[in-house]
């Protein structure tokens, strides 16, 4: 019972009535949790480079599309003119809806002959994004396959990011190609692992397609009957990269994306739920490099289109990965991030941490300085004692101390990136 | 996700699914399909940022916050197309079956604006304080109090002061 200065018996009765009514609802909880994991996994695939270090944006946004497709971006003006023109002329004509069963049927028709089980799908009229997944057996072992759909701003930084091979400093994989097809679509074919640290041999191969009209189709396959938690059932996933390409580029999928209701994805100018604009990753990287103490050289660099950058620095004792997120409007999660943080006289919150790395590599430590200005502008820097966080430690400590990172994060230079 | 983390996540999801689903059913005023979607979306988001969620502590509270905000974001988008409070049918009269309470209560909740419903669920189902409710909804405590007393008044009007006929014997 909530505390209440003027106790009202109606509130007691309401509490009891809500209990009774709420307790009467029941459903298949295992299916709910499994469905949640699939969505999480899908979001993670789409934000592959964003989850590194766990410092990625955690701004809470709308269902589905808004989470995966940030709205307007500071570097949107780099959009190729051809793609922009095409998007402007692509009118949102009403499209036929596809049910989950439709998606499963089409998906299975496109796959080579085999046995199917554990089918699940969500159609285009669902409040969240459509997908289909099956366990497929071509007689050489069961394999999970999944395809999902989304719409995005054509030619946008997000579209390029999704179809650009990840930096080897960040993710271990076997091979990856990124190309532009004759119809203007961007396609990435990727052969890597479910777990970047390779603690299990689960392979994940995928194809990411973003058409010139902004239709995004994501196809993944595993050499196990589930993405996670299932033993490997075969040496490799069943479909070759050639087959992945053929299936992901099938025309029918573009109609599926077109059938996703317009208002379930943010408009190009940014829906109310769209995350706020962030600074360009390139600018963040440059600013960080300029703020490094003397004696460090930058051996490698990279990042995302917005809000995130990394540098691999060397102080003469070996490479050390330094990553940074610069995020506006994070005040809604301040109390979660900075529970016991130090508060500076101007109201800026500062938390520092020393912990293990997050990718499970041997001996890796991650040191972090996390700061938030009173208006929610967050600068968080982490440094590792290795040049790539999925690789084992190559030195005792990161090349930057927590104190140095704190100083860098609190620099007034970041104000220029707002 | 590391195996330890993945196990922790799976354990958490299994333990909290029931409660989150029931919360979602109340938030959606008995729309169980939407409730299932919202819970899956919530789990999806927790999955992506599980490492962070663990570090900040109280994942159960965080999950409830994500669920509530996911629900409100969904309602905001939907409200541009329809006015939910105008289209619900009259309260059921003579209700049959085992669940008169649930149906009547859901019909009454459905008549509240989404944010008011969220306040009621957080305060009286989740036992959150006014301040905690304000945190979840990103509004001031005063706004929560206002919404709460307005929603209580409306429920009182719809359900009757004593609620007795809806309570279990």
Mean pLDDT of B50-79: 82
How many whole angstroms separate alpha carbon A62 and alpha carbon A43? 13
Question: Which of A235, A264, A293 is a domain's end point?
Answer: A264
The sheet carrying A115-122 orders its strands as A115-122, A131-137, A142-151, A215-222, A203-210, A186-193, A173-180
B75, B10: one domain: yes
Question: Which of B53, B81, B109 is a domain's end point?
Answer: B81
* Interchain contact, A62 vs B99, CB within 8 Å: no
CATH number at residue A295: 3.40.1000
Which of B40, B47, B155 has its CB closest to that of A14?
B155
Query: For residue A115, what pLDDT is reported?
Result: 92
pLDDT bracket for residue B39 (50, 70, 90)? very high
Instruction: Give per-residue pLDDT as tens, A378-401.
Output: 899 999 999 987 788 999 999 999
Percent above pLDDT 90 for chain A: 33
Instruction: Give per-residue pLDDT as tens, A8-26.
Output: 788 989 999 999 889 888 8
* Interchain contact, B23 vs A229, CB within 8 Å: no
Q: Which residue has the higher pLDDT, A327 or B108?
A: B108
Hey, CA dihedral for A284, A290, A166, B9, is it positive or negative? negative
A313, A222: one domain: no
Find residues 68-127 of chain B whose CB sits inside 8 Å of chain A: 69-70, 73-74, 76-77, 80-81, 99, 101-102, 105-106, 120-121, 123-125, 127
Task: With beta carbons under 8 A apart, name residues in chain B contacting A10.
Answer: 152, 156, 161, 163
Nearest CA in chain B to A194: B1
* Interchain contact, B73 vs A126, CB within 8 Å: no
Which ipTM value was assigned to this complex?
0.86
Contacts A–B by Cβ distance under 8 A: 192
pLDDT bracket for residue B22 (50, 70, 90)? very high
> For residue A236, which phi and psi values (nearest 5 degrees)?
-140, 160
CA–CA min distance B90, chain A (Å) = 19
Work out the burial of residue A20: count CB atoms within 10 Å of its CB; fewer than 13 is exposed, 13-18 middle, 19 or more buried.
middle
Tell me the pLDDT of chain B averaged across its residues.
Answer: 80
pTM given for the model:
0.40
Tell me the pLDDT of chain A averaged across its residues.
Answer: 77
CATH number at residue B145: 1.10.10.10
pLDDT above 50 (res A230): yes
A246, A300: one domain: no
Nearest CA in chain A to B160: A10
Count the domains in chain A.
2
Q: Which residue has the higher pLDDT, B163 or A240?
A: A240
Mean pLDDT of A285-306: 87
pLDDT above 90 (res A322): yes
Which of A17, A40, A58 has its CB closest to that of B101?
A17
A232, A322: one domain: no
pLDDT bracket for residue A46 (50, 70, 90)? low
Dihedral of CA atoms A253, A255, A258, A264 in degrees, nearest 10, equals -50
Q: Which of A359, A43, A53, A358 is nearest to A199 (CA)?
A: A359
A368, A294: one domain: yes
The answer to whether residues A4 and B133 touch, using CB atoms and an 8 Å cutoff, is no
B75, B96: one domain: no
Query: For residue A183, what pLDDT is reported?
Result: 84
- Please check whether residue B86 lies inside any domain of the structure: no
The range of the structural domain enclosing residue A319 comes to 281-417
Instruction: Give per-residue pLDDT as tens, B124-133.
Output: 999 999 888 9
Q: Which residue has the higher pLDDT, A83 or A97?
A: A97
Instruction: Give per-residue pLDDT as tens, B114-152.
Output: 999 999 999 999 999 988 898 888 888 888 898 899 899
Instruction: Give per-residue pLDDT as tens, A144-185.
Output: 999 999 887 776 766 777 788 877 766 678 899 988 888 888
Query: For residue A277, what pLDDT is reported?
Result: 53
Contacts of A372 by beta carbon, 8 Å cutoff, 6+ apart: A330, A331, A334, A337, A338, A348, A349, A378, A379
- Please check whether residue B131 lies inside any domain of the structure: yes
Find residues 26-65 of chain B whose CB sits inside 8 Å of chain A: 26, 32, 34-49, 51-52, 55-57, 62, 65
Q: Which residue has the higher pLDDT, A298 or A269?
A: A298
């Amino acid at each position: 019972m909530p505390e209440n200065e003027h106790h009202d018996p109606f509130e007691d009765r309401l509490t009891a009535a809500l209990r009774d009514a709420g307790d009467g609802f029941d459903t298949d909880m295992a299916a709910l949790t499994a469905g949640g994991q699939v969505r999480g996994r899908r979001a993670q695939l789409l934000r592959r480079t964003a989850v590194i270090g766990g410092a990625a944006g955690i701004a809470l946004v709308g269902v589905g599309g808004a989470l995966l497709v940030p709205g307007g971006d500071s570097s949107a003006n780099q959009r190729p003119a051809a793609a922009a023109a095409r998007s402007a002329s692509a009118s949102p004509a009403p499209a036929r809806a596809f049910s989950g069963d439709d998606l499963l049927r089409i998906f299975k028709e496109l796959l080579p002959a085999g046995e199917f089980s554990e089918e699940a799908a969500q159609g285009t009229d669902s409040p969240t994004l459509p997908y289909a997944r099956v366990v497929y057996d071509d007689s050489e072992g069961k394999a999970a396959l999944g395809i999902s759909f989304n719409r995005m701003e054509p030619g946008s930084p997000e579209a390029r990011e999704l179809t650009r091979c990840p930096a080897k400093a960040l993710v271990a994989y076997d091979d990856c190609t990124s190309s532009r097809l004759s119809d203007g679509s961007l396609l990435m074919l990727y052969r890597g692992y479910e777990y970047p640290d390779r603690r299990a041999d689960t392979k994940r191969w995928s194809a990411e397609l973003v058409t010139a009209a902004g239709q995004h189709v994501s196809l993944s396959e595993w050499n196990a009957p589930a993405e996670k938690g299932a033993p490997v059932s075969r040496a490799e996933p069943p479909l070759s990269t050639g087959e992945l390409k053929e299936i992901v580029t099938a025309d029918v999928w573009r109609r599926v994306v077109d059938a996703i209701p317009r208002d379930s994805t943010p408009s190009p100018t940014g829906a109310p739920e769209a995350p706020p604009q962030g600074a360009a990753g390139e600018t963040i990287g440059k600013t960080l490099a300029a703020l490094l103490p003397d004696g460090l050289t930058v051996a490698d660099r990279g990042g995302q289109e917005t809000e995130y950058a990394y540098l691999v620095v060397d102080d003469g004792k070996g490479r050390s990965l330094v990553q940074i997120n610069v995020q506006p409007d994070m005040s809604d999660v301040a109390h979660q991030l900075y529970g016991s943080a130090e508060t500076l006289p101007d109201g800026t919150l500062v938390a520092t941490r020393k912990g293990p790395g997050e990718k499970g590599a041997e001996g890796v430590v991650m040191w972090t300085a996390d700061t938030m200005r009173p208006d929610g502008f967050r600068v968080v820097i982490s440094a590792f004692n290795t040049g790539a966080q999925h690789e084992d430690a190559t030195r005792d400590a990161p090349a930057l101390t927590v104190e140095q990172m704190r100083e860098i994060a609190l620099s007034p230079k970041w104000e220029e990136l707002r | 996700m590391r195996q330890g983390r993945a196990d922790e996540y799976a354990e958490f999801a299994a333990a909290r699914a029931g409660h989150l689903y029931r919360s979602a059913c109340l938030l959606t005023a008995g729309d169980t399909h939407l409730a299932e979607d919202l819970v899956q979306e919530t789990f999806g988001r927790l999955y992506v940022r599980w490492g962070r969620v663990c570090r900040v502590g109280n994942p159960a509270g965080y999950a409830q916050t994500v669920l509530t905000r996911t629900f409100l974001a969904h309602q905001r988008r939907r409200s541009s197309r329809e006015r939910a409070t105008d289209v619900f049918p009259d309260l059921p009269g003579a209700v049959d079956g085992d669940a008169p309470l649930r149906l009547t209560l859901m019909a009454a909740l459905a008549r509240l604006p989404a944010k008011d419903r969220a306040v009621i669920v957080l305060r009286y189902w989740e036992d959150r304080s006014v301040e905690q409710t304000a945190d979840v909804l990103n509004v001031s405590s005063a706004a929560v109090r206002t919404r709460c007393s307005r929603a209580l008044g409306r429920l009182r009007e719809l359900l009757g002061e004593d609620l007795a006929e809806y309570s279990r014997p």
